[in-house]
Amino acid sequence: MQEQEIEELNPSTPPVTDTEDTPIQEVEDQGFKKFIALFKEILGIAKSYALVFVIPVILTGLYGYYKGSLVKPTYLAKITFFLSEERPQLPGYGNFTSILEPTNKSFGNPRKLSAYAFTEKVGAKLLFKREVFRGREDFLINHYLRLFSGYKQSYFKDFTSVGDMSVPDYLVFKQVLAGVKKMVAIDYNEAEIYSVSFTSTDEEFSQLMTEAFYDNLTDYYIERATRKAKVTVDFLEEKLAYIKAQLENSEFNLADYKDRANNLVTFKADLNETRYIRNKGLLESLYSMTANALEGSKSNLQSIMPLFQTIDEPHLPLQKDVVSTRNQFLMYMFIGIFIDIIAIVIIYIRRHFWASIKHTIKSA
C-alpha cells in the first residue's frame, strides 16, 4: 500500500516508450503507399487504353511471324582435318642431311590458312574451278550467280587472271567472293584440328563448296610451303634431261667417229678418240652427280611437304537449320510490349509533370 501511494504521489517518471522508430515507420509506410498508388495508376492507364495497347503487340507479332516464314532453311556442310607433322623417311642418295627439314619453317603455322583463304589469288582459283552442279558443268562462280543472284546464263565464259578482268567483271567477282566469305567458317583449336564449314540455302551446293574450298585451300598451302624446293627439283630435272641428251649425243659421236676412222692408227685419230672418250666420261660423271642431287632434292621436298589428313567429310543429308516462326513471333511481340511500356510512361508524365515542364519552358 505504501509503495502504491509513493508512485501516485511521484508521477514525474514517465513510462518508457519507443519514440525513435515511429518516424521511420511513417516514412516507410508513405513510400509503400506511393508505390501502391503508382502501380494502381499505371494499371489504370493500361486498362483504359487496353484496346489500343493490344494493337502494337499483335502487329509486331504478326510481322515477326511473316519475317520468320520468309527465311529459308540453311544447310551446313563441314569437313574436319588436321595438319600432320609426321614426315616420310625416304632413302637418300648422298649426304643431304643438311637440307632435310622436319617441318616447313616459312609456313609452319597452319593458322595462316584462314588468312590465305580469302585472298583474291586463292579465291580466284576456287571460284573458277569447273564443277558439276545439278547436272551442269561450269565455273563455281557461275553456279553461285545462278543460285543466289538469279542469273539464267553463265556470266563468265572463260578466265585467265584477276588482273585481266574488266571493271564490271572484277566487281562481280569481288561481290561473289565477299558473299562466299560470309558463308564460310574456318575453326581450329590448340590441337591443330581444323574444320571448314559452308552454310547456304542449297544442300548440294553446300557440300560441293565445302569440298572445293578445302581442296583449293590445302593445294595452295602446299604450293606455298614447297615452292622453293619445287623450283630446285624442276631445275635439276631439266638439267638432268639436258645432260642425258648431251651424253647420248657424245656416245653417238664416238661410235660414228670409230666407224669413219675404220680402225686407222694415226696420231690425229688417236687424239680425236681420246677427246670423245674424255667428253663422254665427264658427261657421265656430271649425269651421276645431277641424278644424286635430284634424288636429294626430291627427298627434301617430301620432308617439308605438309600432310593434310581428313577426319570427317560432309555427307548427305546435311545438318538443317530452320528458323522458328514461333520464336520470331514471340521476339517481335516483346518489341510491341516495349512500345506499350514507353506509351504508358509518356501518359504518366503528361498527367503529372507536363504542366510543370511547360511552365519551366515558358519561364526560361
Sequence ranges of the domains in the chain? 22-70+323-363, 74-226+308-321, 230-304
Residue 113's pLDDT is: 66
Residue 109's pLDDT is: 52
Q: How far apart are CA 311 and CA 287, in angstroms?
A: 44
CA dihedral 99, 103, 106, 107 (to 10 degrees): 150
Residue 34 carries which side chain, given as an amino acid letter? K
Residue 98's pLDDT is: 39
The pairs formed by 180-187 with CB atoms below 8 angstroms and a separation of 24 or more are 180/123, 180/126, 180/127, 180/144, 180/209, 181/118, 183/209, 184/117, 184/209, 184/213, 186/113, 186/114, 186/117
Q: What is the largest CA-CA distance in the chain?
A: 173
Q: How far apart are CA 153 and CA 65, in angstroms?
A: 35
Residue 86's pLDDT is: 52
Residue 156's pLDDT is: 92
- Of 154, 124, 140, 145, give the one whose Cα is nearest residue 210: 140
Q: How far apart are CA 135 and CA 139, in angstroms?
A: 13
Across-strand partners of 195?
80, 187
Report yes or no: 39 and 174 within 8 Å, Cβ to Cβ: no
Residue 27's pLDDT is: 61
Residue 145's pLDDT is: 93
Residue 192 carries which side chain, given as an amino acid letter? E
Please give the class, per CATH, of domain 74-226+308-321.
alpha beta
> What secondary structure letter does DSSP report for 128?
T
Residue 23's pLDDT is: 61
Across-strand partners of 193?
82
Note down pLDDT in tens along the chain; length 364 residues. Answer: 444 444 444 545 555 444 455 566 666 677 777 778 888 888 888 888 888 888 888 888 888 888 877 778 889 999 988 776 555 444 444 444 434 344 444 344 556 666 777 888 888 989 999 999 988 999 999 999 999 888 888 899 988 888 889 999 999 999 999 999 888 888 877 767 888 889 988 999 999 999 999 888 888 877 776 777 777 777 778 887 887 887 777 777 767 766 666 655 554 555 666 777 777 777 777 777 877 777 777 776 666 667 778 888 888 888 887 777 788 888 888 898 898 889 888 888 888 888 787 778 877 6
Question: What is the pTM for the complete model shown?
Answer: 0.59
The pairs formed by 291-297 with CB atoms below 8 angstroms and a separation of 24 or more are 291/93, 291/240, 292/93, 292/94, 293/94, 293/236, 294/233, 294/236, 294/237, 294/240, 295/92, 295/93, 295/94, 296/92, 296/93, 296/94, 296/96, 296/99, 297/96, 297/99, 297/229, 297/232, 297/233, 297/236
Q: What φ, ψ does residue 200 adopt, rounded to 5°?
A: -150, 175
Residue 302's pLDDT is: 67
